[in-house]
Amino acid sequence: MHHTMKDPTHLHNGTQGGKILSCIERSYWTGTQFRATRRNPVRVHVEQQQRLRQLLETTRVRSSYYREKYRHIDPGCTNLVEFPVMTKAEMMSHFDQVVTDPAVTRSGVEHFIEDIRNVKEAFLGKYTVSHTSGSQGQPTLIVQNQLGLDLLFAFQMTRGNYGHHGGLLGFIEAMQRIRQPARLAVIINQQGFFPSAWIWQHLPEYMRVYMQFLFVPASDPDLVKKINEFSPNVLSATPATMDLLSLKTDQFRLPKLRQVVTWSETLTSAARRRITEAFRVPLMDNYASGECMFLTNGCPSATGAHVNADWAILEVVDENYQPVVPGRLGNKVLLTNLANTVQPFIRYEIGDRLIMATEPCGCGNRMPRIEKIVGRVADFFWVRTSTGYRPLTAYPFQHAFDYRREVREWQAEQVERNTIVVRLEPIPGAVPDLVAAQKRLEERLALTGLRQDLEIRLETVTRLATDVYTSKFRRMISRVGIPQDLDQPLREVAEDFASEECALHDSARVPA
Ligand SMILES: [Zn+2]
């Protein structure tokens, strides 16, 4: 039976009377999302190309920027390599012409995310918006349609769900979840419009019957107690946070835990080992970006993650944008999100360096697997507090400065253990309001519980320099490094995450 997976948009317009019917329909649609991972890759490719053709058509009709950019390409052409690359800077400087809905504007989105209370609201009543953390240079504003969210949740329920059964069994499992919803505990590093944590707060209403959530800030002093009381099936956090939690497993009582999910930063092989040994459940490391949140689902048996190739295209390329074969390390990746028709990302350049796997995967998922990811290491400072050392990540700084219009770039330097100098580089001709910037930063630091331990100095510079050793720009620089008297287990975590590049290719099996 060939079931064409249609855009489920019509399911969102269900009338009150049709609610139960549409709930079943949606459950069915969600259930079918597992199937593609077992299907012949040739068939998945056909489906992918149909969606690509449709996206290119829509984009050319409704986006004046893309229409102009593609004017030299034959209208019927769907051969992606013929299409020019789109950069972040280009996307941001032509934002209003790139988007396909004229009601969406850059200033409108910026105004919307200024107010943190909007984090659970839909922009213009129908879109979710976020911005990337800017860890790879200029931050990007991202507007997503409902389909992108539906896919994210459906993939998490099926493809990213360890032990999930496909087909009818999967459908039955989904229906059973109505009586016994899955319990997902998400540890958040920072409130705000960062895609990875807040996205779960935008769970479509029809999915709420399947999942219950606990959101706990990583800085919460009762973190362990709250997680124990909630008793999650799935525990989710960034690799660095999960690694630190794995040192506390003697305090956790998690009889129902089935899997651990990490996201956002690079998971080092040492961290993977420590986390799986501590929690004794499979670890799914999702690789995604704000531009395509449903891009992959972590592989439960090998390292890395499987690309959801039916709805996204990932091209690994070298520095001249030439294709790099599986098994070889690329220089960057080009992303095409086949679901987002409001802000089309087509051959969109992301700085990550990847290696695609050459062999079929033992877990049974036939989607292409990213074997190794280089970069995206968490930057953090170790700060002394009355209860010992605590890590301070880049999040408070990012949230305070990434969306100040007058700030082109920022850099935080830990000059002494508890003293941080923050340098702001304004856009040409602008004068940053240091008082307002300091206030904003202190608000963000207060949320981490570290405000009273830190001395912060802000200054303006005309140009921030790149690192003399690596010639890369670094936002977080520590002059004091890892404390000498840091506990040994914490030290291991710290040293691991401090490494510039890390290998993920050893295919350590997770304990059964
Ligand atoms: Zn796999």
Ligand 1 center–CA 476 separation, angstroms: 34
Q: Say how many domains are in the chain.
A: 2
478 C-alpha to ligand 1 centroid (Å)? 37
Ligand 1 centroid – CA 137 distance (Å) = 31
C-alpha of residue 57 to centroid of ligand 1, in Å: 33
pLDDT in tens, 35-70: 888 889 999 999 999 999 999 999 999 999 999 999
CA of 302 to the centre of ligand 1 (A): 6
Could you tell me the distance, in angstroms and rounded to a whole number, from the CA of residue 152 to the centre of ligand 1? 18
Task: Check whether 366 has a pLDDT greater than 90.
Answer: yes
Ligand 1 mean position, distance from CA 370 (Å): 9
The CA-based angle 315-85-355, given to 5 degrees, is: 20
Please tell me the distance between residue 323's alpha carbon and the centre of ligand 1 in angstroms.
Answer: 23
Centre of ligand 1 from the C-alpha of residue 310, in Å: 16
Q: How far is the CA of 406 from the centre of ligand 1 (A)?
A: 45
Q: What is the mean pLDDT of residues 142-147?
A: 91
CA of 284 to the centre of ligand 1 (A): 10
Of 435, 432, 463, 452, nearest in space to 392 by CA: 452
Look at residue 4 and tell me if it is in a domain.
Answer: no
- Identify the domain boundary among 343, 374, 405: 374
Residue 133 Cα to ligand 1 midpoint, Å, equals 28
Report if residue 2 sits inside a domain. no
Q: Which of 219, 239, 183 is nearest to 449 (CA)?
A: 219
Tens of pLDDT, residue by residue over 455-498, are 999 999 988 876 655 555 678 888 888 888 888 777 777 776 65
For residues 405 and 287, membership in a common domain is answered with no
Residues 358, 313 share a domain:
yes
Residue 267 resides in a domain = yes
Q: What is the mean pLDDT of the chain?
A: 82
Flag whether 24 is in a domain: no
Residue 21 belongs to a domain = no
What pTM, to 2 d.p., does this model score? 0.74
What pLDDT does 48 receive?
97
Q: Which residues contact 174 (CB under 8 A, 6 or more apart)?
A: 27, 30, 31, 157, 210
What's the 366 CA to ligand 1 centre distance in angstroms?
A: 8
Q: Domain boundary at 326, 344, 374, which?
A: 374
- Whether residue 210 sits in one domain with residue 148: yes
Ligand 1: centre distance to CA 244 (Å): 26
Residue-level pLDDT at 166: 57
Residue 485 lies in a domain: yes
Q: How many CB atoms lie within 10 A of CB 344?
A: 24
Ligand 1 centre from 159 Cα, in Å?
Answer: 10
405 CA distance to ligand 1 middle (Å): 42
Report the separation in Å between the CA atom of 388 and the middle of ligand 1, taken as the mean of its atom positions: 40
Give me the pLDDT at residue 120, please. 78
Q: What is the CATH number for 483?
A: 3.30.300.30
Distance, C-alpha 389 to centroid of its chain = 27
Cα–ligand 1 centroid distance for 298 (angstroms)? 8
Query: Separation of 365 CA from ligand 1 center, angstroms?
Result: 5
369 and 435, same domain (yes or no): no
Say whether both 163 and 51 belong to one domain.
yes
Of 256, 339, 267, whose CA–CA distance to 299 is shortest?
Answer: 267
- Quote the ligand 1 centre to 286 CA distance (angstroms): 12
Ligand 1 mean position, distance from CA 301 (Å): 6
Same domain, 402 and 476: yes
pLDDT at position 18 over 80:
no
Q: Give, to the nearest 10 degrees, the angle between helix 269-279 and helix 488-498.
A: 140
pLDDT interval class at 17 (50, 70, 90): very low
Q: Judge if 125 and 215 occupy the same domain.
A: yes
What is the extent of the structural domain holding 476? 380-498
Domain boundary among 322, 349, 374: 374
- Give the pLDDT confidence of 281-316 residue by residue, as tens digits: 988 888 888 899 899 998 988 888 999 999 999 999
> Is position 512 within any domain?
no
> DSSP secondary structure string, 426-452?
EPTT----HHHHHHHHHHHHHHHT-GG
Residue 282 C-alpha to ligand 1 middle, in angstroms? 12
**Ligand 1 center from residue 362 Cα (angstroms):** 6
Q: Which residue type does 427 have? A: I
Contact indicator for 273, 113 with CB cutoff of 8 Å: no
Q: Is residue 153 part of a domain?
A: yes
Query: How many A from CA of 304 to the centre of ligand 1?
Result: 8
Asked if 348 and 483 sit in the same domain, the reply is no
CA–centroid distance, 502 to ligand 1, in Å, is 20
- Centre of ligand 1 to C-alpha 443, Å, is 42
Could you tell me the CATH number of the domain that includes residue 254?
Answer: 3.40.50.12780
Q: Which residues of 19-40 are buried (b: 16+ CB within 10 A; e: fewer)?
A: eeebbebbbebbbbbbbbbeee
Same domain assignment for residues 190 and 297: yes
Considering the domain architecture, whether residues 59 and 169 belong to the same structural domain is answered as yes
Q: Report how far ligand 1's centroid is from the alpha carbon of 268 (Å).
A: 17
Same domain, 314 and 286: yes
Residue 3 has pLDDT above 90, yes or no: no
Q: How confident is the model at residue 169 (pLDDT cuts 50, 70, 90)?
A: low
Spatial contact of 306 and 365, defined as CB atoms under 8 Å apart: yes
320 and 239 co-located in one domain: yes
Alpha-carbon span 290 to 370, nearest angstrom: 18
